[in-house]
Structure formats: C-alpha cells, structure tokens
Amino acid sequence: MAEKETMIIESRAGPLEKIGHAVLRRMGRTCPHGVTWDEQRVLTADEQAQLKMIARWTVVRAGLAGALSAIIAAVAAVYAEGVFSGHALNYWLVFGGMSLVAATFEVGFLYYDALRAVHRISSVCDVELFPENEERSRMAGVMVRAAMELPNPPDRDPYVNPFRQASKLRVLTGELLYKGKILATNALAKVLVRKIFIRGAARAWLEFVAVPVTAVWNAVVCFWVLRQARIRAIGPSALLQVLPDRLSQLEAKVAQAAQRAVGCCVSASRDLHPNHRCMLEMMRKHTTVMVTDLADDHEEFLRNLAALNQHGRGIVLDILVLAIVVDGRISQGEKLLLQDALKVHGADPVDDRLRQALHSFRRGHGVPSLYGGTQSEGAHTPQASVGMDDLAGDEA
C-alpha cells in the first residue's frame, strides 16, 4: 500500500522534480543508523561542523561553475568576433552555441551538486528519506524542490490557497522578475564597465564582465538554497516539539482561529511552504478540528480572533508568530497580518520580538511564547538544535 501511495505522490510532481527525486534516491539512504522522526536529540559539535563544511564547499563549487561557464562563453565571443567579424550569423552560431553548451553543463552540475548537498544535510540532520513510504517520499520531494529551486506546489492543501490575495498578473510579474535577475545583473554590469572603465572596448571582451557576476550570483543562490534546505530539514521536528503543548485541550473556536492564522500566513506570503503544510496537518490531527471554509480569509480570521477571550487570543497569536517564522523568513504581508491581529488584541507592534522569535527558531531553540500561549522557550528542537545563523542572516 505504501508503494502505491508513493507512486501517487510522485505522479503529481513535474518532470524536473521526478528526475531530481530519482537522482536523490540513487545516492542511497540518509540515515544508515535508522534514526526516526520521533527520536529527539541535539546535533553534536561535529555534526554542526559537518553542516558548515557542506555549505562552504557547495557554495565555492557553485561559484567556480558559474565562472567557468562565463569564461567559456567569453572566449567563444572573442574568437567569433575575431574570425567572423562582419558576419553576424556565424558570430551568433559560434558564440550562442558555445554559451548554450556551457550553460547546459553548468546548470546540470549545479542541480546535481545541490542534490548531493541536500542529501548530506538530510543525513547529518537524521532526516530519513529512503527506503520510501508515503511520508518519506513526500519529504524527499520537499528536499528536491529546495535543491532545484522549484516552487512549492500551491495546491497541496485543499482548503488554503496561497494566491487568494494576489492577482494573476502580479504572480506572473514576480516570476518573470525572479527569472530575469541574473540577466539584468549581467547587462547592467556590462553597461557600467563600458561607460566608466573601457569606453572603447570591443563587444566581445565585455563578455568577461559576466565571469565575476555569474560566479557571485551562483554562490549567493546556492547559499539561499542550502539555507532553505536546512530549514525544511529541521521544520517538522521543530513543530513536533512546540505545537502539541500549544494545541492541548483547545476549545473548538480557538482551534478554528489558530488554523485560520496559519492559512492567512500562507496567503500573506503567497507560498504554501512545506513547514506550513506540516503545521496545518498537525493542527488538524491534534485538535480534531478541520476548517474547510474561508481557511485563509484575512477578515474571517480577525473576526474569529475578536470573538475570543484574552487567553484564547494569546494562544492564537503565539501560533500566528510560529507560522510566520517557521519558513525561515518574514514577509511584508505577514508583518501586516500580525499588526492587524495585534490591534484586535489591543497590543502594540513588536517587530523586534518577532525578529527574535525568528532567530530563536533558526537556532533550534523553539519559538518563545510572546502573548500568553504555552511557553516553549528553551526547548531544543529534535534532530536539529543548531544555529540557523551559521548558514544565513535574517531574511526579513
């Protein structure tokens, strides 16, 4: 039965994700000692050093791959301009062909190396991905999407829509801007070099400007990828440590408001992050309450919150803060959502405390109770009590 469910999950993935999943599977088990999700422990100093080493060398290799690809393209441009001067078609056939080949090998290497790094991170954090069952297959998909920078599927929760508050035009514009960042950076760098440093430079030599730009960009993107992979690796175990205490013996109306708080976070950030999905599933399981109507509606959430007493609002606000930080970043939409909720509660905005909660989660110390919910500060997250700041600074 488990094998059949795994195939159903994989059938919903795109072709690139399926390829990544197959590559990750061929790398073998991530937990040779058989550690399970339910086993709680703190990473040792040696394991923390391993994570730093994985991140450091993967970032270095990504930068070198980008530099090498850009050098090949630049050399091809110089050669084509020298040999085929005045023959635009031949120039673009040589330059474009070599650039395409170099870029293909670069992207392939970056994907493979990121998958290898994610496999190693999963092993160090004791995130068991193989042999597969339904849960492990889904977690493997989560890690593959992190490694390959694939978007989180927006339809994996039947009641929460991450794009409910966003227009289709705005979503499309955001995707185009994201994809065009590196092209725009390269173009701007070339214009600046031509205008400031080498006004009479040949067009082909300007291609060498892309070497440092591409190397730095690859390194930065790889840095982001590894940070997100690590957040996904520790997220479910962190939630297992924090949520049960806060969900114990909740009244139905408090549980409904809490679920809508998470749904509104998804809508505000326009991303159904795997940790948000895990959080929603855990809340439905522990409270036996399932909100199916307006689960991500901002106004309905505020009305639910206003109907609670002070203690109930405190519990919901604590869960809202947890939902805001559990994906490792704080979006502007989530800040506005928290501000509106605090107005209902009669409390002042607390940007500094929210930032502290984010750092606490990244360090593996849980998220402290800020508004009267169950106190979880000081509890170590299972499997990964380690500073997220070792890999990255604040994304907020």
Q: What is the pLDDT of residues 319-355, one digit of tens each?
A: 999 999 998 888 888 999 999 999 888 877 767 788 8
Mean of pLDDT values over 129-140: 78
The per-residue pLDDT for 265 is 92
* Least reliable range by pLDDT among 11-20, 111-120, 184-193: 184-193
| Model pLDDT, residue 59 | 94
Contact 147, 115 (CB under 8 A): yes
Residue 123 binned pLDDT confidence (cut-offs 50, 70, 90): confident
pLDDT at site 40: 46
User: How far is the C-alpha of 140 from the C-alpha of 31, rounded, in Å?
Assistant: 13
Least confidently predicted of 102-106, 127-131, 220-224, 283-287: 127-131
Q: Is residue 91 predicted with pLDDT exceeding 70?
A: yes
pLDDT of 320: 93
Domain ranges of the chain: 2-34+41-153+204-227, 248-375
Write down the pTM of the prediction: 0.75
| CA–CA gap between residue 55 and residue 114 (Å, rounded) | 10
> Has residue 51 got a pLDDT over 90?
no
pLDDT (average), residues 126-131:
78
75-84 long-range contacts, CB within 8 A, separation 24+: 77/203, 77/204, 77/207, 78/202, 78/204, 78/205, 78/207, 80/204, 81/202, 81/203, 81/204, 82/204
- 1: pLDDT strictly greater than 80: no
Closest residue by Cα to residue 24 from 101, 178, 132 = 132
Q: Which residues contact 23 (CB under 8 A, 6 or more apart)?
A: 112, 115
Average pLDDT of 252-260?
A: 91
* Mean pLDDT for the stretch of residues 290-311: 89
- How much is the pLDDT for 54? 92
Rounded Cα gap, residues 12 and 137, in angstroms: 12
Interacting residues of 35 by C-beta distance below 8 A, sequence separation 6+ = 126, 128, 383
Q: What is the mean pLDDT of residues 277-300?
A: 87
Q: Which of 89-93, 174-178, 243-247 has the lowest mean pLDDT?
A: 174-178
| Per-residue model confidence (pLDDT) at position 11 | 46
Out of 3-12, 233-242, 272-281, pick the least confident.
Answer: 3-12
